[in-house]
Amino acid sequence: MSKAGYSAPAAAAVALVATTAKSVVGVKGHSAFGVDWTKYRLSFDGATSTAVPVLVELCYATFATNSPGTASTSITINQTYGRATAAGFTAAYNWTTEPTVLTVLDAFTVPAFNGTVVYDAPFGTSADSAVSEGFVIRCTAPANVNCRPTLWFERV
C-alpha cells in the first residue's frame, strides 16, 4: 500500500517555564483514521552548560479536552511524500492548558544546553493511535528554556 507522510513543525520556539510540564507539539487523527508516529525532532536553546536536563515525555493523547487548535497554536501540516491527499489531521504547538488524557509511552532527559533529539522509528515499530486520537510531546525543564519541536507521521 502506498503511504503518504506528513510533518508538523512548530512555527516558533516554545518557551518552557521552570518546573512546569508543557505539551510542546501534538497531532490528532481524523474521525476516519489514526496517526502512525514515525519520527520526531526537538532541540533546546539553553545557554548554560551546567543547566539541568529537560524531561521529555512522549505521550499518547485521547484529546478528551484541548484538541490541537484549542488552548494551543495551530500548525499547517506539510505533506512530505506519497500521493497528494487531503491531510485531515490537526496539529498544534505550545499548549497553554494541557490536553487530556495523556499516557506517557516513553520518558527521557535531554540536555537543556543545545540538547537535540533526532529519532526515526525503526521499521515496524512506530506507535499508532485510534481514530480521532494522537500524540503529543510534553517537556518539563528545571529552568526557563526554549524548545523547537517537529512531529512526522503517516495515516493509519
Give per-residue pLDDT as tens, 25-39: 999 999 999 999 999
Taking the mean position of all CA atoms in its chain, how far away is CA 34?
15
Torsion-angle region of 47 (φ positive above 0: left; ψ -120 to 50: alpha; else: beta): alpha
Distance between CA atoms of 148 and 130, rounded to whole angstroms? 27
Taking the mean position of all CA atoms in its chain, how far away is CA 76?
14
Distance between CA atoms of 99 and 63, rounded to whole angstroms? 6
For domain 5-155, which CATH number applies: 2.10.240, 2.60.120, 2.30.30, 3.40.50? 2.60.120
Share of the chain above pLDDT 90, in %: 90
Cell numbers 485531515 correspond to what residue?
Answer: 88
Mean pLDDT of 65-88: 93
Q: Where are the domains positioned within the chain?
A: 5-155
Mean pLDDT of 70-93: 93
> Grid coordinates in use for 8?
508538523
Q: For residue 1, what pLDDT band results from cuts at 50, 70 and 90? A: very low
- Provide the greatest CA pair distance for the chain: 48
Q: For residue 87, what pLDDT band results from cuts at 50, 70 and 90? A: confident
Q: What is the pLDDT of residue 2?
A: 63
Give per-residue pLDDT as tens, 116-151: 999 999 999 999 999 999 999 999 999 999 999 999
A 10 A CB-CB count for 89 gives 21
Instruction: Quickly list DSSP for 131-149.
Output: TT-EEEEEEE-SS-EEEEE
Distance between CA atoms of 50 and 12, rounded to whole angstroms? 25
